[in-house]
A and B are shown apart, each in its own frame.
Chain A
């Protein structure tokens, strides 16, 4: 005697149950299958390709009419079940009742509709089944604007599909980055960029307030008041288990229908499977666990032992061209370490999260070819300590040999792409090297590899090394620090060419290996950004060395030195009185410096704002004696007093100092202006030194009197003071725009050559443009940092956060 099995819902999970049953016990049950949708089982996760037009419905059907007929399943499709009566063991559909011995509930899930006004307007569609998909296809035929609410898997697939069908699509996402449950911020950023490249507008932190329209949807109103026109609104904020029938039948229901590991509900004759169930507080939305459940359901129905155990899950997004993958747990935490690989030109980001000697999480974007292998390591809890160094390169580089980056490059197949910008693969480069291109420049010239964004330079060099062996000497271009393989010059060039205007953009686009740099790279990047984008980027004090952050020079005992500016080395009795009083008040030691100023040493950090306020009151500002910026302009008394003076060297020095003060430069900049070739201001060993002569001004650059002693080289001779100032400002700006951080001017000149600098500056238009850019930057940065920090609210930050020594004394 056959038993009677009734199944409610013809989705992917119950479909798999039926397959197992018919294979393993073909004659045990008479089966009746209800489905509210007027069709049988299809591959629901392939709805996105149907929406985008890449597949048709027919291609994604899993069980067609023939299959149901052959397997003798009574299909009641398009018929809603209205009730379950567990006492009489019957299921009642719209067209009548049927009795059961065993019942399987597989009602799946329903889309979650956010309760905003207008949610029921025509033109608002949830994205769940084929009918929704068809409705979207139909709506998109008219073109126009679509707003997709929800930046999770479903929402993004809907957005991509609608965009492919020619609609202007905006995605609204409540959280700070897309797919926040599956992706970390970096991958979310890449995904957003990828979608924006496809013309999809992505708005994060966007909360929907209402859907507007008279007879049908016309617009979406956000909490911040933004109104977005919309001909179609797709609601894809999430799903919830469809449990209404189970609740009505008084089965135990929490968020989902509660089942045990055998997939039995609180009634042993009623089983449940799929997205509608809850096991130990967990819900299931991805297909892999549903298929595992289906196996257990079939076994339980046949009377075999089986238990469902939830496993680690992974996610892939099915948007053609957006490859992403995430699995496991990738939150940052104590004892967890990240291994990060970024290749911005290819849009590749991989992050492995390691805890102890296990891989616990993985996020990949752009290249997910090895995702299954990584997923296996997570699932199996494999000990990865032996392959840790090359782990992120994937399975191809494991097994045997030393963890040497060269061996990874050597192991690459000839068709492996090295230069993503120009599509050059390893084989072509090796061929070029064997053909005589034995250095980076020659490889660039013959193959174009690394000639565009330069990110693959390191790989090309490694190929040179592998191919030539000892015949190749690695060039001296050092990476900035351990956080990146790029040199300072590369970073500067890329910040300009890719218009990177924030630290986050630099870390991401240039593939930094650390979260936010280190003490070596961050001050450099901070300078490059503020020098190249003065209006877009804001100087970050936390990326500066202590002296530049506290605007005073820290001394070996932790106290500071304070040095007010004395324009051109000139001062007044009033200033000297104020300095003397401040020195007495704060117990400072007084020292006359080589830069014609007065230094107050031994000031405590807590007293800095107060001494600054005192000096400010006497009209003095910071002397920037602590910056990589303009320090001092040393002068002699010139034609004002000196019987040999040819020009007003003091006046020119003051003008230059007033023009240049406050500017940040790659390293410190000191100037000197001497009134005659006797050179009392020692101008010829300054970064910029001007020597006045009868016929005008000799401008020399690249002098130094520090670890290296250098005499300036003559940049140009000019006739007037105006020209001298113009050339000086233009030179400083050229150095600001091109110098490597912490290279004094002479070091920079040794790299670029004085000839090149002269060539640039000789062009009047170029000179004027440099001066303009300098003045633009000064409009932001020529402010007295002391005055800003002497304000009581800011000054508070110079005090200890808390002081328990006082309490103890009471």
Chain B
């Protein structure tokens, strides 16, 4: 495991998201109204819409391009749409966001 500090919780707006760039692609880090954080692939499987620019509601995000909705726990598309975004382990420790990046590094090494 490689938990890496990517910034303060407060750097991400409440009910908002920020982008993290990695070798394996862009990750969106979300912060819900309840101060939970989630990390997922930034690209919507439909037309690669940037999910970090979507509206965050409950533990879900809506893609800004065509309103696909994803559950941030599982990455599953909701409703009639079928698809899934990758989700990544992330946690908060002492007000800092820690992202587990070994999966992302492995992929870049491969």
Binding site for B on A (CB under 8 A): 332, 334, 514-519, 522-523, 541-546, 549-550, 554, 556, 558, 797, 800-806, 808
Q: Evaluate contact between A332 and B55: CB separation under 8 angstroms.
A: no
- Size range of the chain B interface in the assembly: 35 or more
User: How far apart are the CA atoms of A68 and B11 in the complex, in Å?
Assistant: 68
Partner of A545, one of B34, B55, B57: B55
Q: Evaluate contact between A801 and B11: CB separation under 8 angstroms.
A: yes
User: How far apart are the CA atoms of A67 and B104 in the complex, in Å?
Assistant: 76
Smallest CB gap from B25: residue in A? A805
Q: Evaluate contact between A804 and B101: CB separation under 8 angstroms.
A: yes
Please give, as numbers and ranges, the residues of chain B lying within 8 Å of A554 by CB-CB distance.
Answer: 50, 53, 64-65
The distance from the CB of A791 to the nearest CB of chain B, in whole angstroms, is: 16
Q: Evaluate contact between A516 and B47: CB separation under 8 angstroms.
A: no
User: How far apart are the CA atoms of A805 and B26 in the complex, in Å?
Assistant: 10
Smallest CB gap from B101: residue in A? A804
Q: Evaluate contact between B19 and A801: CB separation under 8 angstroms.
A: yes
Residue-wise, chain B 39-75 has the 8 Å CB interface mask toward A (1 for contact) of: 0000000011110011111101010110101000100
Partner of B7, one of A516, A801, A806: A801
User: How far apart are the CA atoms of A606 and B33 in the complex, in Å?
Assistant: 25
Residue-wise, chain B 70-108 has the 8 Å CB interface mask toward A (1 for contact) of: 000100000000000000000000000001010010001
User: How far apart are the CA atoms of A174 and B68 in the complex, in Å?
Assistant: 42
Can you add 13 more A-B contacts, CB < 8 Å, to A518-B55, A518-B58, A804-B23? A334-B73, A514-B57, A515-B33, A518-B69, A519-B55, A519-B62, A519-B67, A544-B55, A554-B53, A800-B19, A800-B20, A805-B21, A805-B23
Q: Evaluate contact between A801 and B55: CB separation under 8 angstroms.
A: no
Q: Evaluate contact between B57 and A804: CB separation under 8 angstroms.
A: no
Smallest CB gap from B109: residue in A? A808
With known contacts A542-B13, A800-B19, A808–B56 Cβ distance under 8 A? no
- Most B C-beta atoms less than 10 A away, residue of A519, A544, A550: A519
Q: Evaluate contact between A514 and B58: CB separation under 8 angstroms.
A: yes
Smallest CB gap from A808: residue in B? B23
Q: Evaluate contact between B108 and A808: CB separation under 8 angstroms.
A: yes
User: How far apart are the CA atoms of A519 and B56 in the complex, in Å?
Assistant: 8
Q: Evaluate contact between B12 and A515: CB separation under 8 angstroms.
A: no
Please give, as numbers and ranges, the residues of chain A lying within 8 Å of B21 by CB-CB distance.
Answer: 800, 802-806
Smallest CB gap from A804: residue in B? B22
User: How far apart are the CA atoms of A800 and B69 in the complex, in Å?
Assistant: 23
Partner of B57, one of A516, A558, A800: A516
With known contacts A334-B73, A802-B20, A804-B22, A517–B64 Cβ distance under 8 A? no
User: How far apart are the CA atoms of A556 and B58 in the complex, in Å?
Assistant: 26
Partner of A523, one of B55, B56, B101: B55
Residue-wise, chain B 1-38 has the 8 Å CB interface mask toward A (1 for contact) of: 00010110001111110111111001001000110000
Q: Evaluate contact between A332 and B34: CB separation under 8 angstroms.
A: yes
Please give, as numbers and ranges, the residues of chain B lying within 8 Å of A522 by CB-CB distance.
Answer: 55, 57
11 A-B residue pairs with CB within 8 Å: A515-B33, A518-B69, A542-B55, A546-B64, A550-B53, A554-B64, A558-B49, A801-B6, A802-B6, A805-B21, A808-B108
Please give, as numbers and ranges, the residues of chain B lying within 8 Å of A545 by CB-CB distance.
Answer: 55, 64
The distance from the CB of A60 to the nearest CB of chain B, in whole angstroms, is: 43
The distance from the CB of B2 to the nearest CB of chain A, in whole angstroms, is: 11
With known contacts A515-B58, A558-B50, A802-B7, A541–B23 Cβ distance under 8 A? no
User: How far apart are the CA atoms of A105 and B72 in the complex, in Å?
Assistant: 53
User: How far apart are the CA atoms of A803 and B20 in the complex, in Å?
Assistant: 6
Please give, as numbers and ranges, the residues of chain B lying within 8 Å of A514 by CB-CB distance.
Answer: 57-58
User: How far apart are the CA atoms of A556 and B48 in the complex, in Å?
Assistant: 9
- Most B C-beta atoms less than 10 A away, residue of A514, A517, A558, A806: A558
With known contacts A516-B58, A522-B55, A541-B13, A801–B22 Cβ distance under 8 A? no
User: How far apart are the CA atoms of A543 and B108 in the complex, in Å?
Assistant: 35
Please give, as numbers and ranges, the residues of chain A lying within 8 Å of B13 by CB-CB distance.
Answer: 541-542, 797
User: How far apart are the CA atoms of A663 and B108 in the complex, in Å?
Assistant: 47
The distance from the CB of A540 to the nearest CB of chain B, in whole angstroms, is: 8
Q: Evaluate contact between A804 and B33: CB separation under 8 angstroms.
A: no
User: How far apart are the CA atoms of A545 and B49 in the complex, in Å?
Assistant: 13
Q: Evaluate contact between B54 and A519: CB separation under 8 angstroms.
A: yes
The distance from the CB of A483 to the nearest CB of chain B, in whole angstroms, is: 9
Please give, as numbers and ranges, the residues of chain A lying within 8 Å of B58 by CB-CB distance.
Answer: 514-516, 518
Smallest CB gap from B43: residue in A? A558
With known contacts A541-B13, A804-B21, A805-B22, A546–B54 Cβ distance under 8 A? yes
- Most B C-beta atoms less than 10 A away, residue of A545, A554, A800: A800
Smallest CB gap from A545: residue in B? B64
5 closest A-B pairs by beta carbon, nearest first, are A519-B62, A801-B18, A546-B53, A546-B64, A802-B6
The distance from the CB of A478 to the nearest CB of chain B, in whole angstroms, is: 17
Please give, as numbers and ranges, the residues of chain B lying within 8 Å of A805 by CB-CB distance.
Answer: 21-23
Please give, as numbers and ranges, the residues of chain A lying within 8 Å of B60 by CB-CB distance.
Answer: 518
Please give, as numbers and ranges, the residues of chain B lying within 8 Å of A519 by CB-CB distance.
Answer: 54-55, 57, 62, 67, 69
Q: Evaluate contact between A549 and B53: CB separation under 8 angstroms.
A: yes
Please give, as numbers and ranges, the residues of chain B lying within 8 Å of A801 by CB-CB distance.
Answer: 6-7, 11-12, 18-20, 29
Q: Evaluate contact between A516 and B33: CB separation under 8 angstroms.
A: yes
Smallest CB gap from B31: residue in A? A542
Please give, as numbers and ranges, the residues of chain A lying within 8 Å of B33 by CB-CB distance.
Answer: 515-516
User: How far apart are the CA atoms of A558 and B19 in the complex, in Å?
Assistant: 13
The distance from the CB of B11 to the nearest CB of chain A, in whole angstroms, is: 6
Smallest CB gap from B79: residue in A? A482
Please give, as numbers and ranges, the residues of chain A lying within 8 Å of B101 by CB-CB distance.
Answer: 804
Smallest CB gap from B15: residue in A? A542
Please give, as numbers and ranges, the residues of chain A lying within 8 Å of B73 by CB-CB distance.
Answer: 334
Smallest CB gap from B7: residue in A? A801
Please give, as numbers and ranges, the residues of chain B lying within 8 Å of A546 by CB-CB distance.
Answer: 50, 53-54, 64
User: How far apart are the CA atoms of A518 and B73 in the complex, in Å?
Assistant: 17
The distance from the CB of A435 to the nearest CB of chain B, in whole angstroms, is: 42
Please give, as numbers and ranges, the residues of chain B lying within 8 Å of A518 by CB-CB distance.
Answer: 55, 57-58, 60, 62, 69
Q: Evaluate contact between A542 and B14: CB separation under 8 angstroms.
A: yes
The distance from the CB of B86 to the nearest CB of chain A, in whole angstroms, is: 16
User: How far apart are the CA atoms of A549 and B54 in the complex, in Å?
Assistant: 10
User: How far apart are the CA atoms of A544 and B55 in the complex, in Å?
Assistant: 7
The distance from the CB of A705 to the nearest CB of chain B, in whole angstroms, is: 24
User: How far apart are the CA atoms of A518 and B57 in the complex, in Å?
Assistant: 5
The distance from the CB of B100 to the nearest CB of chain A, in whole angstroms, is: 13
The distance from the CB of A166 to the nearest CB of chain B, in whole angstroms, is: 41
Please give, as numbers and ranges, the residues of chain A lying within 8 Å of B65 by CB-CB distance.
Answer: 554, 556
Please give, as numbers and ranges, the residues of chain A lying within 8 Å of B99 by CB-CB distance.
Answer: 802
Please give, as numbers and ranges, the residues of chain B lying within 8 Å of A516 by CB-CB distance.
Answer: 15, 33, 57-58
The distance from the CB of B92 to the nearest CB of chain A, in whole angstroms, is: 14
Please give, as numbers and ranges, the residues of chain A lying within 8 Å of B54 by CB-CB distance.
Answer: 519, 546
User: How far apart are the CA atoms of A687 and B90 in the complex, in Å?
Assistant: 48
User: How far apart are the CA atoms of A550 and B52 in the complex, in Å?
Assistant: 12
User: How far apart are the CA atoms of A515 and B47 in the complex, in Å?
Assistant: 28
User: How far apart are the CA atoms of A519 and B78 in the complex, in Å?
Assistant: 13
Please give, as numbers and ranges, the residues of chain B lying within 8 Å of A543 by CB-CB distance.
Answer: 15, 55
Smallest CB gap from A332: residue in B? B34
Q: Evaluate contact between A517 and B7: CB separation under 8 angstroms.
A: no
